[in-house]
A and B are shown apart, each in its own frame.
Chain A
Amino acid sequence: MNDTLTMLYSFFVEKLPYVTIVVFLIGVILRLHRWLVAQEGPRGPRFNLFAALKYIILDVVFFRKTFNTDKVTWLTVFLFHIGAGGILFGHMRGFKIWSAEMFSPLGYWLAEFMVHTLPVYMGWMFLATQVVLLLRRGVLERKKLQSMSNDYAALVLLLITSILGQGMRVFPPKAIPPETYSVVFIPRLIVLHLEKVPSHHWFFLHVLFTQLLVMYIPFSKLIHVISGILTSAIYGSRRRDYGI
């Protein structure tokens, strides 16, 4: 690596992750504090684990209500979340949470497809669904909905991060060294093992925007990843309470 790359590596990989973690944790604490200091209110529905799980699966995993309301939006949202989940899962291999050998029993071609081909399509699908969701929001704006700036900020940040991630696949470096490449974000805790050295520009920008996105999660509507599960659990418990 030349000096510029060393400097970029030092900042984006070795220093920024600490800032990201701190900002993320502060954000989570502030968000929880905002919810916890709000008024207690009357007793809500009695929590029922079975009903909560039922509606978390139906509504959070399968988007039942979206399906019943608007099939096109359901398809977009469903594929978007499949894409998000698939990409997160794919990244876990780099962090050695799972290994490509897991797919070996499927046979060489299928394993190859799962590990190397599917993620590319998943990336395009993820990007496409984000664009559709962004366009949908724009078209419906001030007619059927009124977004807040953070609705757009979250989508745009996610879109940029995904474009940069996909960019690494589309624009690989001219010479790819065969050896495994390790990126040590936080020693012994967050270490990314890459099979191939990616294009450095795309990679550093992707790393930067990913960290900006992680920092932004607790301050944005992306918090629904957590709170949406809680609200669905309350909804399920309510239905059980009401006998419906």
Chain B
Amino acid sequence: MASEINRTKAREVLRKFTKPQVMELDTCAHCALCTDKCPAYAESQEPNHAPGVRSTKAVRLYNKQFDLRARFLGPRPVTEEEVADLADSAFHCTLCGRCMETCPFGFQTHELWSRVREIVHDLGGSLPNVVMLEEMLKESQNPYGLDSDMRLDWADYTDLEEVPEKDEAEIAYFVGCTTAFKGVNHEVAFSTASILNQLGEDWTLLGEDEWCCGSPLLMAGDEHGAREYAEHNVKALESRGVRKVITGCAGCFRVFKWEYPKLLGREPNFEVSHSVEFLRDKLASGELKPKPLNRKVTYHDPCELSRLGGVIEAPREALKYIVGNFTELPEHGMNVYCCGGGGLLQAANNDLRLAIVKRRLDQVKKLGAEILTSACPACKLAFVDGARALEMDIEVLDLLELAARQLGLI
């Protein structure tokens, strides 16, 4: 028998859909155009993973509390089974926002699906692995459950000599958890730090004072937790008089730039740049002069940096200074095909994540690229995992690594 969720709670939680979101749910024509472009559906062929189906299920739950019938005859029960079904749909999604680019009405699907996750979370329907990840985050301020004093291990492993942790600095390098804690990305942090050192910038790290940016919490549906992390990080940065925050993580960048003002209700007192924007500026000004590389290189747009972050041209402009033989992947820019590494899909269904990355790697293979670059540690992790699974001979490098290599820094 279906178990009913407390009616007052269900009503209170479902009320979280905002004005434009209710309008979007009412406008959705369930045309399935988004389904055709959804990477999760493309690999699973599971209707419940299609964005339009998620929209139907979300509006049905909303209607149970707020449609005309509910208004005149009283709300109808929302069951745990319905919430679990919606959770299955919501978390089998990379939150890549590709459906927004396909939707004839241009729904802000990234925000909409994040809200669905928040509702599922608040109704107690999150997937067990997502709940576990959230608990680890709250215990250790990172999604890997590792001690904060390991945040600078990358500097030890890479033998970086100058690791500044200052009380005051012009620039802060926000490393991000996936760069700091995942060995495959340690060279990315080392490259960024080396470039900052070579330029003689007045920069600092936050060290143990750096907490997760809050992106995984937002993806898990815990907006309250994400706000707490935003407050901490902004306070840590503002107290150091930082004027510019550089991050090499597309997720951290998006959250810092676009979500923190919403979470905090104000603009932080610093500018936010992704490391590729900083690199592009320094290459364009002639402060960095890399040795040109004559190998076939391609670039994968991280969804959170491009479609959801607004940085599409900067990496390409930077690559012009570094690479002589750059080739575009078939689906790029606003239409980028996700690598599978986003949206906590790894926690929900790692096989699906690998299936998505394999498709992207097939495109790279067909292109005949020797080096695959990107600008996101989660993308790099997905590509390295995928290439290993496919036994594919491709070098996966972050753009900063590529630049540091051509500058003779690594």
Contact = CB atoms under 8 A, between A and B. Distances in A.
A244 B312 contact: yes
Contacts, number: 142
Contacts of A143: 47
A224 B47 contact: no
Contacts of B18: 38-42
A165 interface: no
Interface stretch (A5-13, A107-115, A184-192, A235-243): A235-243
B125 interface: no
Most buried by A among B19, B52, B263, B335: B19
B144 interface: no
A231 B33 contact: no
Interface string A63-80: 101101110010001000
Contact of B26 (A68, A146, A227, A242): A227
Contact of A144 (B20, B50, B57): B50
A151 interface: yes
B100 interface: yes
Given A34-B26, A223-B26, A231 B47 contact: no
A224 B29 contact: yes
Given A42-B262, A144-B35, A147-B56, A224 B21 contact: no
B334 interface: yes
Interface string B98-115: 001111111110000000
Nearest to B37: A69
Interface residues of A, number: 50
Nearest to B34: A69
Contact of B310 (A234, A236, A242): A242
A232 interface: yes
A23 to B, nearest CB: 12
Given A55-B106, A65-B101, A69-B37, A30 B20 contact: no
A221 interface: yes
Contact of A44 (B20, B28, B335): B20
A144 B21 contact: no
A74 B400 CA distance: 41
A148 B30 contact: yes
Is chain A's binding surface mostly helix, strand, loop or mixed?
A: helix
B103 to A, nearest CB: 7
A50 to B, nearest CB: 16
A151 B106 contact: no
A90 B173 CA distance: 63
B2 interface: no
A30 B68 contact: yes
Contacts of B59: 148
Nearest to B333: A244
Contacts of B20: 41, 44, 231, 234
Interface residues of B, number: 52
B1 interface: no
Interface string B9-49: 00000011111111110111111110111000100000100
A175 B101 CA distance: 55
A37 B17 CA distance: 11
Interface in B349-381: none
A146 B49 CA distance: 11
A39 to B, nearest CB: 5
A44 to B, nearest CB: 6
A176 to B, nearest CB: 40
Nearest to B100: A235
Contacts of B31: 73, 145
Contacts of B101: 65
Contacts of A36: 19
A221 B37 CA distance: 23
A157 B88 CA distance: 34
Interface in B93-145: 100-108
B241 interface: no
Contacts of B15: 38-39
B3 to A, nearest CB: 23
A232 B262 contact: no
Contacts of B30: 137, 145-148, 151, 221
A129 B279 CA distance: 52
B399 to A, nearest CB: 19
A39 B16 CA distance: 6
A219 to B, nearest CB: 8
Interface in A187-244: 219, 221, 223-224, 227-228, 230-232, 234-236, 238, 241-244
18 contacts: A31-B26, A38-B18, A39-B17, A40-B18, A40-B19, A41-B21, A44-B108, A59-B104, A65-B104, A66-B104, A69-B37, A144-B32, A144-B50, A144-B52, A145-B50, A227-B27, A228-B104, A235-B107
Pairs of residues from A and B, 4 with the lowest C-beta to C-beta distance, nearest first: A235-B106, A41-B18, A242-B310, A42-B262
Given A38-B22, A244-B334, 13 more contacts: A38-B19, A65-B106, A73-B31, A144-B36, A144-B47, A145-B30, A146-B30, A223-B26, A228-B27, A241-B310, A242-B258, A244-B310, A244-B312
Interface of B: 15-24, 26-33, 35-37, 41, 47, 50, 52-53, 56-57, 59-60, 66, 68, 100-108, 258, 261-263, 306-307, 309-310, 312, 334-335
